């Protein structure tokens, strides 16, 4: 099937790697607002070279690049990718400069190769292979490539809300994925939601001499007491109504995760722990990993934390908290419940600032498109481990109502996304292009 297309991919791996290197050379760091327009234009050019029609959609943030090829087929396949990357710092930890990509030991090194410029390029080149070999595509193709994924996709709703027709498709491939520690490919069907807040307490007009702690109130203790009402010693979240709308894992999901190996013992070693939270193991650990929301302290600040001692009674205390949300929970609802919980417990003086939030989303594990991806993966890589959701978050909820998404990609456990020495295996990259062709083939027969 599609021999000429497959041959083109193998004969042109180096050319597509050159195209990827060109993309990686632009330091598209969304957090610094660098190179966004320049990269959007290059991505548009790559889509055009692959035979797609294109448009750049301006938002109040980074532009969204779309590409499409309508061949009047029954099925439509959509790709979601992003052209922005994480900052490369600390630069001194890189073995080669992050924005001067190079190949060593069968891997391509550079910021963004694993997350997500490599995936974006491999997908564009898989489509280009059809054009270059004059092979008719058996499915319609759409690309949505945004530029703010690494900073919470802040302005993506401006595009998705106005373009629901465009983001409607029979199946979609989400941005990330790859091989796990044992080399087996993994697919992710969902992402948890997030609700990120800062809590602040102010009890005095200024920091004062700590001897006065015998007569003056402590902001730091106020905050600690408030935090102490959020979770019990078994890590159960005590905010009234927190778990009310939460949807449990389905029977099909429970059956699927029974087969997944979370490499419990290996990660105990990596994290240097004797046991997981509440002594979780086996199926109970998996249920928590895929199905539990969190209430996590990201950082606490108050008073003096410098060298040596300084006797001070701090006037203020603050904490940043992220809640990971599962299906059924909404950040606006949790926001209200958090406020009410604080008030009901006498903490009306604790200010809450809402930074970001969006709900979880998942593709049902028994959706036929999941079978399409599984069959295609089998033809190229072999086994596929299916995770009902990632414990991480992403803007999947913007697409999920319009297209079932599965996340598979060209990365692996050595990829070091978001860290120094990010890399991909060139062989995985080549095979990921073949898997796209196989997905297209399987999809045309669905
Ligand atoms: Zn990322």
Give the Å distance between the CA of 188 and the centre of ligand 1.
15
Give the Å distance between the CA of 358 and the centre of ligand 1.
17
Interatomic CA distance for residues 340 and 337, integer angstroms: 5
CA distances 298 to 10, 212, 267, 377, 391, Å, are 45, 30, 21, 37, 16
Closest residue by Cα to residue 399 from 56, 160, 77: 160
Instruction: Report the DSSP beta bridge partners of residue 385.
Output: 186
Structure tokens at 409: 């990609």
Interatomic CA distance for residues 308 and 313, integer angstroms: 16
The model's pTM is 0.90
DSSP 115: I
Give the Å distance between the CA of 30 and the centre of ligand 1.
11
Closest residue by Cα to residue 202 from 355, 350, 313: 350
Give the Å distance between the CA of 79 and the centre of ligand 1.
16
Residue 356: predicted pLDDT: 84
Give the Å distance between the CA of 417 and the centre of ligand 1.
7
Tell me the three-class secondary structure of 119-132, residue by residue: HHHHHHHHHHHHHH
pLDDT tens, position by position, 215-232: 999 999 999 999 999 999
Give the Å distance between the CA of 43 and the centre of ligand 1.
18
Give the Å distance between the CA of 424 and the centre of ligand 1.
14
Give the Å distance between the CA of 85 and the centre of ligand 1.
7
Give the Å distance between the CA of 230 and the centre of ligand 1.
29
Structure tokens at 16: 């597509």
Ligand 1 ion: residues within 5 Å (CB)? 115
Give the Å distance between the CA of 385 and the centre of ligand 1.
21
Closest residue by Cα to residue 267 from 190, 189, 181, 186: 181
Top-level class of domain 192-246+293-358: alpha beta
Give the Å distance between the CA of 218 and the centre of ligand 1.
39
Query: Strand pairing of 171-174 and 405-407?
Result: parallel
Give the Å distance between the CA of 150 and the centre of ligand 1.
5
Give the Å distance between the CA of 169 and the centre of ligand 1.
24
Give the Å distance between the CA of 32 and the centre of ligand 1.
15
Residue 51: predicted pLDDT: 98
Give the Å distance between the CA of 116 and the centre of ligand 1.
7
Residue 405 has phi, psi (to 5 degrees) of: -110, 140
Give the Å distance between the CA of 395 and the centre of ligand 1.
12
In order, the DSSP letters of 205-220 are SS-EEGGGGGTS--HH
In order, the DSSP letters of 397-435 are HHHHTTS-EEE--SEETT--TTSSS-EEEHHHHHHHHHH
In order, the DSSP letters of 227-281 are HHTTB-TT--B-STTTTTTPPPPPHHHHHHHHT----HHHHHHHHT-SS-GGG--
Give the Å distance between the CA of 341 and the centre of ligand 1.
33
pLDDT tens, position by position, 125-136: 999 999 999 999
Give the Å distance between the CA of 148 and the centre of ligand 1.
10
Give the Å distance between the CA of 411 and the centre of ligand 1.
12
Using alpha carbons only, how large is the chain's radius of gyration in Å? 24
Residue-by-residue pLDDT tens, the chain, 446 positions? 799 999 999 999 999 999 999 999 999 999 899 899 999 999 999 999 999 999 999 999 999 999 999 999 999 999 999 999 999 999 999 999 999 999 999 999 999 999 999 999 999 999 999 999 999 999 999 999 999 999 889 899 999 999 999 999 999 999 999 999 889 999 999 999 999 999 999 999 999 999 999 999 999 999 999 999 999 999 999 999 999 999 999 999 999 999 999 999 999 998 999 999 999 999 999 999 999 999 999 999 999 999 999 999 999 999 999 999 999 999 999 999 999 999 999 999 999 999 889 999 999 999 999 999 999 999 999 999 999 999 999 999 999 999 999 999 999 999 999 999 999 999 999 999 999 999 999 999 99
Torsional sign, CA 334, 365, 143, 112? positive
Residue 374: predicted pLDDT: 98
Give the Å distance between the CA of 231 and the centre of ligand 1.
29
Interatomic CA distance for residues 311 and 64, integer angstroms: 52
Residue 139: predicted pLDDT: 98
Residue 181: predicted pLDDT: 87
Residue 198 has phi, psi (to 5 degrees) of: -120, 135
Domain layout of the chain by residue ranges: 3-189+363-444, 192-246+293-358
Give the Å distance between the CA of 373 and the centre of ligand 1.
22
Give the Å distance between the CA of 115 and the centre of ligand 1.
5
Give the Å distance between the CA of 441 and the centre of ligand 1.
29
Give the Å distance between the CA of 133 and the centre of ligand 1.
33
Cβ–Cβ under 8 Å, residues 140 and 73: yes
Top-level class of domain 3-189+363-444: alpha beta
**What percentage of the chain reaches a pLDDT higher than 70?**
100
Interatomic CA distance for residues 405 and 168, integer angstroms: 11
Count of H helices and E strands in the chain?
13, 21
Give the Å distance between the CA of 91 and the centre of ligand 1.
18
Query: 255-289 burial by CB neighbour count: b if 16+ within 10 A, else e?
Result: ebbeebebeeeeeeeeeeeeebeeebeeeebbbbb
Give the Å distance between the CA of 393 and the centre of ligand 1.
10
Residue 207: predicted pLDDT: 97
């Amino acid at each position: 099937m599609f021999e000429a297309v497959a041959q083109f991919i193998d004969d042109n791996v180096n050319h597509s790697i050159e195209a990827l290197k060109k993309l990686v050379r632009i330091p598209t760091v969304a957090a610094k607002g660098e190179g966004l327009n320049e990269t959007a234009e290059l991505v548009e050019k790559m889509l055009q070279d692959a035979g797609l029609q294109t448009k750049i959609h301006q938002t109040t943030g980074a532009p969204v690049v779309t590409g499409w090829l309508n061949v009047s087929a029954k099925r439509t396949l959509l790709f979601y990718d992003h052209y922005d990357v994480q900052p490369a710092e600390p630069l001194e930890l890189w073995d080669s400069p992050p924005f001067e990509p190079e190949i060593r030991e069968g891997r391509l090194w550079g910021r963004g190769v694993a997350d997500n410029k490599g995936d974006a390029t491999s997908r564009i080149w898989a489509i280009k292979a059809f054009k270059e070999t004059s092979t008719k595509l058996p499915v319609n193709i759409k690309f949505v490539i945004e530029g703010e994924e690494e900073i919470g996709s802040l302005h993506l709703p401006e595009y998705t809300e106005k373009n629901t027709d465009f983001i409607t498709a029979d199946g979609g491939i989400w941005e990330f994925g790859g091989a796990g520690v044992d080399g087996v490919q993994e697919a992710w069907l969902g992402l948890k939601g997030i609700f990120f807040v800062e809590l602040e307490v102010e009890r005095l007009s200024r920091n004062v001499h700590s001897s006065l702690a015998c007569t003056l109130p402590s902001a730091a203790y106020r905050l600690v007491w408030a935090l102490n009402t959020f979770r019990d010693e078994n890590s159960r979240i005590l905010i009234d109504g927190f778990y009310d709308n939460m949807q449990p894992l389905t029977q099909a999901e429970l059956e699927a995760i029974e087969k997944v190996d979370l490499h419990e013992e290996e990660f105990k070693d990596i994290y240097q722990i004797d046991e997981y939270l509440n002594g979780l193991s086996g199926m109970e650990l998996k249920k928590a990993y895929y199905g539990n929301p969190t209430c996590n302290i990201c950082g606490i600040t108050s008073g003096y934390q410098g060298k040596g001692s300084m006797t001070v009674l701090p006037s203020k205390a603050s904490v940043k908290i992220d809640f990971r949300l599962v299906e059924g929970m909404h950040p606006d609802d949790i926001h209200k419940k958090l406020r009410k919980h604080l008030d009901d417990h006498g903490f009306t003086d604790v200010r809450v600032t809402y930074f970001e939030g969006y709900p979880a989303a998942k593709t049902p594990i028994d959706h036929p498109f999941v079978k399409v991806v599984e069959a295609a993966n089998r033809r190229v890589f072999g086994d596929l481990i299916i995770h009902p959701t990632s414990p991480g978050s992403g803007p999947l909820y913007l697409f999920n109502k319009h297209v079932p998404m599965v996340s598979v990609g060209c990365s692996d456990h050595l990829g070091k996304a978001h860290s120094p020495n990010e890399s991909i295996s060139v062989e995985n990259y080549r095979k990921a292009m073949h898997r796209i062709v196989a997905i297209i083939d399987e999809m045309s027969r669905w």
